Every structure is written in C-alpha cells, then in structure tokens.
Structure 1
Amino acid sequence: MPAAEILIRVDGGHVIGLGHIFRMRALAHRLIGNGFSVALAVRRETPGETVLREAGLVVHGLADDEAFLPLAQTCGAGIVILDVLNTSVDLLRALRRAGIRRLVTLDDEAGGLMEADLVINSIVSLAGRYDATACRAQLCEGPAYMILQPEMARSGPPRPVPDRARRLLLCFGGSDTRGLSARVLSALGALPGPLDLHLNLGPAALQGQGLISARIASPHPVTVMRGVPDLAACFRNMDLVLCAGGIMLYELAALGVPAAAIASEPHERATIDFFVGAGCVLDLGYYETLRPSDLTARLASLLDSAARRRDMARCGPLLVDGGGLERCVRLIGKLAA
C-alpha cells in the first residue's frame, strides 16, 4: 500500500449527493500540486468512487465505515481530513491512538470541535448552531472557506443581463436526490415563452419515466446534458440557474450568475436564507411543500426584471470570492509544517 502524507475520508452518491466529492477532488489536486502525497478513502462501488478514480487520484475503496480506521492505521498518513459532516469523538480519538498527528474535519458540529486540530465550517447554515467558544480546534467558518473548483470564479467582464431571462438551466446537483428536475420542468410549462431550457443531470442522477414525460410534455425546448466538461462555462452562459441549496449556490455566487433555489434538505433552508439576505438568490421554497403555482409566480417576476438579476450577479462575488481552496490549502500546509 503506498504511503500517504494526507488521507481524505469522503463519500458521495445518489442519496447524499456529490458536492463533497467534488470539493475534495479539488482539494486533493491542489495539495498534490503543492508537493503532498494524497490518498482518498470512499465507499466502494459508489458514484463518488468513480468520480475520484476518473480524476486519476489514489483511491481506497471501503466495504463499510468500519474499514476506515484499519486503513488509516496502515497507510502512513500524518494528516487525516474527514469531509463526512458531523464526526464521531470515538473515531477521532481512535485515529489519535493510531498515531495520526493532525486531524481536520469539515462541516462539523460534533466531534471535530473538541478533538480535531482544525475545523472548517464553510456551510453557512452551521453558523450559530454550536458553542464556538467551547471549541478546542482552530475554527474557520463562513463562505470565505468554501472549497470550489478553480474554474468557479468570475474572470473577465460579466455577461450582459438581458431584459428578460430566456436561457434557464435546471441543475440539481450530482444526484438530484429529491427528483426536482421533473417537478420543476413540469412547473415551467406554465410560464410564457420563449424559454430555452437546459437540464444538467449529474453523474448520480437518475432519468426516470417522470423526467422523460416532463421533458416530452414541455412546451419549451429542453436540452438534456450529462457529463458537461466545463460546468462553469455552462453556468456563465445562462440567464438564470435553478438549483438546490447546497454547494452549487456558492459556485453560482462566485461566478456572478443569478440563481433560484429549492431547499432539498432541512439544513439547506438556512443556507438559502443567508444567500437571499445577501441579495444573490431567489428562494423558491422547500421541496416537500413546493407548489407549482408558487414556483412559477416567484419566477415570473424575476424573469422579467433585469435590474434584480443584475443586482444578484453583482452581489454574488462580493459574498463568495472563490479563494476558499487556497485558504484551506494554506491552513493544512501550516498543520503539516
């Protein structure tokens, strides 16, 4: 087994999405570029494992969660990074006993606050939900620390904002766990044209009969995409992106692309509220209570308001500057010194 100075634990698939996989892929590549040896541990035979292997990274497939500790004990890592949401105190203590010198956790309201050396909580819905004053770890929080792909930052002049938004992208993450693509596509049929609809299906998204039927029934032309080679360029080419309330909100804000978001998980409601307060997102509601008439009513006014969409495009990069990857690499580099 090749030695790894840094071992990253992460998962991703249809149920939990692929956002954490993509950001750990970006972090791994940048750490390798800075001279570190990096390996990743992920559940075996999952879309997350496929994405990481296709990126040319060293990947250890795990049969289950219990297989991670033996791997960490034998792989020779000095730093373990856990991007698994709330971590177990018992696991972190076991990693310490196994000789792991430094522990880093992400989006962690649990064990990492007491047992890790560094906690990076970039998901803004976490703010204020724990007692940071009792945190033993170095705590860095907020959108300044969101790890994004390097291309997810605005470069050059912003795209002109048309009087009416016509090019709409539906992009509900790597897995579209809640089946939002079909529901939203059906609702958009009530909006007047012309609309040019684009639907991006992530690596773990399923194209069931409901989605196929919605696409066929749509009065607007629908272009279905999968495996888009440059998603940032695709975002920049749209007048408005409809998405969930995860990491994609940070990407769109950094790019200066107006967004309308549906919360697909309870914690995403707070994240969307934060972005709404910053002026760069329209809230379309919670997926369980989403009514097509409400969605179309909220969207209609935004489609017709160039001024609102221009403000959204301006506010996004002020909130998310795209420098989170470099900040996190510097923090991890200091731990390794």
Structure 2
Amino acid sequence: MATTPAASAPARIIFRADGNATIGLGHLVRSLALADMVRPLAECRAAVQAPAPAVRQLVREAGVALWELPVLEPAAEAPLLAAQLCPTDVVVLDGYGFDTGYQQTLAASGCRLVAIDDLRAWPMAVELVINHSPGVTATQYRAAPGTRFCLGPDYSLLRPPFLTQARPPAPPAPIASVLLCFGGADPQQLTQRCLALLLALPALREVGVITGGAFPHSDALQTLAAASPTKTVRFYANVAADEIVALLHQYQAVVCPASTILIESLVLGKAALTGYYADNQRHLAAYVQEHQQAYSLGDFTALSEVALQQALVQGLEWLAREPRQPYAPHLAPEQLRAEFRRLLPA
C-alpha cells in the first residue's frame, strides 16, 4: 500500500469509474470526456478496477494516467482508496456503488468530492453533482445545503469531436441507412437482435454496426450479415471518438440506448431511435420522445421480436416525416471548468 500523500502534493483530479462487459463502458466514457474538459487545471487520473484491454485503450486515447485498483466491494475499497488521497485531490465518482457511506469515507481524507449521478438513489455527501440528463432539478436530490449542481443538457459530458461539431437537427427524410450502436459491451445482446430485425426491412439498404473490445458475439453478427447478401453491412470495432463522429455523419440515423451515445448523436443533429434496458436510461428515453428530439422504442428487454420490429418500423416512419427539436443548444463546458477551478487549491 502506498503511503498517504502529503497535503502539499500537487493537485490531482481522480476519476473513479469502472467499465467492463457486465456494466458497459458508459460511465468511463463520460468521465474521460469530463477529464478532457478539466485537464488544463490539474493532473487527471482514471482509477479503475482490474482494467480490461478495451478500458486501457480508452484511457490511453484520452491521454489520462491509469490508476489500477484491485477488485473489491465498495465498502472495502473506500478506506483503501481514502488512505491514498489528500486534501489537494478532487475525486469524481461515477458508478452504481458509490453510495453515501463510500462518499463519506473518501471525504474524511480531506479531498473534495464530485459525483456524476443520474440515479438519485441516496443522500449525496459531495460538493458538486453533475447530471446531464434533461428535466432534472436540484430538489430531486437529497444533499447538504451548500451542494452545487450542474444539471441538464447544457452540461453534456461530451468528448472534444462532439463538442466542436455540434449542430441543429437535420430535416426529416426517408431512412435507408442506419448505424447500430449499443456500447462497447452490450450485455443485453441488443446489437444482434436489432441487426436481425433491421436486415429484414426492405427500405433499409445499409447497416453499420459499432462494437467494442468487450463485445463477445462478433461471430453471430457476421453470420447475420452473410445471410442478407442484398444488404450492405459494415462492422466497426474499438472506434475512437473522431471516427464515431465520421460514422454518425455517414449514416442517416442511429439506433442506440438512451445513454451517452444518444446524447452524442443528438448533439450532432442526427436522427435517432432509442430506448432503454436499465433504469437510469428510462428518463432520458422518455424525455427525448416527449420533446420530439428522438423516437423511443421503450423497454428493449420487454419487447418481443414482433413488437420490436413493429417499433423499429414505426420509428423509422416517424423520423421520415417529423421535424425534430434540438437537444442541447447551449453547451457549457467552460462552466464545468469553472466549478472544478473552485474546488482545486488556489
């Protein structure tokens, strides 16, 4: 175990997030996007349990130092991590297990705490809460009176290529090409389900499929593509952020969960069919549907194959005829930097 850093040590911003084939890579991706925004202020590190090769690649591409942690339950990890922190550190938590007790244990080291939180599942013992989901207010959180909040699409945690190429929605048009992206791991195997159903639609001529290093079913996707020789199917693995931007521009619409990839797509003005398979995606899926920003298919896991195909057809028809509203017309990365500047030592 390393010794406790001195209180006079250089300031660090430590992003505590995990990514793997079970939980996906979304927490890590948005944490690294925030790291890019605040990197001019202090050294940034990504603290990850037992990082897989795909995670190592993401962190390396982000230009952030990797801090490898052993696999422990949050209650066991918190005191070990706290022992290596000091008051000059800012720790950003993004994950399902970093509850009030975990936060309080880290705060006892004197560090400053930030939470990227779209769960609202427990009282917050942090100084700043970031939630880029739309329609969320501070009154929905249980937090101390001095807690600050950065809430809503203006604070979208986007990697640089998405921030620089933000644009309003494209006009409605018939959809003949679709990009399918259910994250780097896709634990629900929704890529395979949706690809099979999309290839059966006569109006679609081309489908692109993005997967990551944690995706375990590539052979099944290749088999589906081979069984549809009249369709053009292209596969893209371990795609960097600038390449994802290029692919989103190449295809007319994207099919994706209501997670970071949806926000990235909408900021680029893309037509999108979305839905949810986790509770923390439900709100965003409902919001973009209600505000005419994208078409939600609902709960992917509750739809039969027939119902899912009907929903895909209805969604493509909706994208072909309905004008869409902008998702985040006023992005504010400079305000996020200002909040971190306030937390760091002068």
Residue of structure 1 equivalent to 2:331: 323
Task: Name the CA distance, whole Å, in 2 between partners of 1:145 and 1:194.
Answer: 35
Task: Name the CA distance, whole Å, in 2 between partners of 1:299 and 1:214.
Answer: 18
Between 36-45 and 126-135, the greater mean CA deviation after superposition: 126-135
Q: 1 or 2, which has the higher helix percentage?
A: 1
Task: Name the CA distance, whole Å, in 2 between partners of 1:157 and 1:55.
Answer: 24
Task: Name the CA distance, whole Å, in 1 between partners of 2:296 and 2:213.
Answer: 26
Task: Name the CA distance, whole Å, in 2 between partners of 1:157 and 1:256.
Answer: 5
Where structure 2 has 5 or more consecutive residues not aligned to the other structure, the ranges are 3-8
Task: Name the CA distance, whole Å, in 2 between partners of 1:62 and 1:186.
Answer: 39
Residue of structure 1 equivalent to 2:215: 205
Residue of structure 2 equivalent to 1:261: 274
Alignment pair present for 1:7 and 2:20:
no
Task: Name the CA distance, whole Å, in 2 between partners of 1:154 and 1:305.
Answer: 28
Residue of structure 2 equivalent to 1:59: 66
Task: Quote how far apart the aligned CAs of 1:236 are.
Answer: 1.9
One-letter amino acid of the structure 2 residue matched with residue 89 of structure 1: T
1:149-160 equivalences under 5 Å are 149-153=159-163, 155=165
Cα RMSD of the aligned pairs, angstroms, is 2.9
Task: Name the CA distance, whole Å, in 2 between partners of 1:116 and 1:134.
Answer: 8
Q: Structure 1 residues 152, 39: CA separation in 2 closer, same or farther (over 3 Å shift)?
A: same
Task: Name the CA distance, whole Å, in 2 between partners of 1:3 and 1:287.
Answer: 46
Task: Name the CA distance, whole Å, in 1 between partners of 2:151 and 2:50.
Answer: 31
Instruction: Give SS of 2:235's match.
Output: strand
- Calculate percent identity across the aligned residue pairs: 26
Task: Quote how far apart the aligned CAs of 1:24 are.
Answer: 1.6
Task: Name the CA distance, whole Å, in 2 between partners of 1:306 and 1:283.
Answer: 11
Task: Name the CA distance, whole Å, in 2 between partners of 1:134 and 1:74.
Answer: 26
Alignment pair present for 1:30 and 2:41:
no
Q: Structure 1 residues 324, 246: CA separation in 2 closer, same or farther (over 3 Å shift)?
A: farther
Task: Name the CA distance, whole Å, in 2 between partners of 1:156 and 1:67.
Answer: 39
Instruction: Give SS of 1:12's match.
Output: coil
Task: Quote how far apart the aligned CAs of 1:304 are.
Answer: 4.9
Deviations 1:137-179 (A, max 9, x none): 2223222222111211474877965842111111111211211
Residue of structure 1 equivalent to 2:5: none
Q: TM-score, normalised by structure 1?
A: 0.85
1:90-169 equivalences under 5 Å are 90-100=101-111, 102-107=112-117, 109-110=120-121, 113=124, 115-124=125-134, 130-131=140-141, 136-153=146-163, 155=165, 163-169=173-179
Between 150-159 and 266-275, the greater mean CA deviation after superposition: 150-159
Task: Name the CA distance, whole Å, in 2 between partners of 1:194 and 1:78.
Answer: 51
Task: Name the CA distance, whole Å, in 2 between partners of 1:197 and 1:152.
Answer: 22
Residue of structure 1 equivalent to 2:6: none
Give the conservation status (yes or no) of the 8 Å contact 1:275–1:281: yes
Give the conservation status (yes or no) of the 8 Å contact 2:166–2:267: no
Task: Name the CA distance, whole Å, in 2 between partners of 1:48 and 1:170.
Answer: 21
Give the conservation status (yes or no) of the 8 Å contact 1:154–1:255: no
Task: Quote how far apart the aligned CAs of 1:11 are.
Answer: 0.7
Between 38-47 and 300-309, the greater mean CA deviation after superposition: 300-309
Instruction: Give SS of 1:151's match.
Output: helix
Aligned length: 329
Give the conservation status (yes or no) of the 8 Å contact 2:82–2:108: no
Residue of structure 2 equivalent to 1:20: 27
Q: Which runs of 4+ in 1 moved over 6 A?
A: 156-160
Task: Name the CA distance, whole Å, in 2 between partners of 1:276 and 1:256.
Answer: 15
Task: Name the CA distance, whole Å, in 2 between partners of 1:59 and 1:133.
Answer: 30
Task: Name the CA distance, whole Å, in 1 between partners of 2:338 and 2:96.
Answer: 21
Residue of structure 1 equivalent to 2:83: 73
1:247 to 242, 256, 260: 260
